[in-house]
Amino acid sequence: MPQPFPAVVAHRGASASRAEHTRGAFEQALQQGADGLECDVRVSRDGQLVCVHDRRIDRTSNGRGAVSDLTVAEMAGVDFGSWHHPHEPEHGVLTLDELLGMLADLRNRPRLFVETKHPARYGGLVERKLAALLARHGLTTPRVRADAPVLMMSFAEAAVRRFKAAAPRVPTVLLLSQIRGVRRGGVLPTWADVAGPDVRLLRADPGFVSRVAALGRDTYCWTVDEPADIELCKRSGVRYVATNRPDATRSHLDDPDLARFGSVAE
């Protein structure tokens, strides 16, 4: 059965209800019916890709320090869950390798959108590490690109270009916080497969999605939690919506009349 549009992508997991980037957040996202999962990755001091958004772990754990200064072993005893819900501790940083292993045995495997974070101390190492890890998991040679289990994303054009050179069959998303120049016409570089605008850009220019589509590309929009934004993405033809609330977003897509209730509840 064809997947309905737009597909619901859980932003850092079900991050409105569980601590972001934890195993519990991703498990709950799957329980809530997410079609895909999104995660950010950085390189730890011992060269592993870990699922952390910020340069430091201070905001999302009871530990302190830059990810690039800490090993996975040093982050093993750190609580990444209680900051969000005091009674839900989750110790140890989640590595991307662990997340891929968690998804490997699922019958209906969700697509995984992996964002490499920049600027980073190790520069292009994060893209090289990502390409190598995906290759070890057998994820760099999808038979059909449209069904690829993993997509790579970044705001940094150099990062997307580097990754595409290393893993040309893995789809890439160029994330956009502004639309300027040729991008206004929906034009993407040859090494970017999907446009990734902030939802605020679509509010100002909803026609951007159709211009991208006219050139044969899909759109990934972030971060879409409000009913009006969900409706905007659906009307505009957005292919993927990243949301902190996959359950509420899925319910709204299935029942547009929910818009009359206003903002999605916490």
Residues 61, 66, 72, 76: is their CA dihedral positive or negative?
negative
Catalytic residue chosen out of the listed positions 11, 21, 84, 252? 11
The β-bridge relationship of strands 49-50 and 36-43 is antiparallel
Q: Is 84 annotated in the active site?
A: no
Residue 91 annotated in active site:
no
User: Which candidate in 21, 53, 84, 252 is catalytic?
Assistant: 53
**Residue reference for tokens 């054009």:** 157
In DSSP terms, 83 is beta-bridged to none
What are 79's two structure tokens?
């609580």
Buried b (16+ CB within 10 A) or exposed e, 190-216: eebbbbbbbbebbeeeeebbebbbeee
159: left (phi over 0), alpha (psi -120 to 50) or beta: alpha
| Residues classed as catalytic | 11, 53
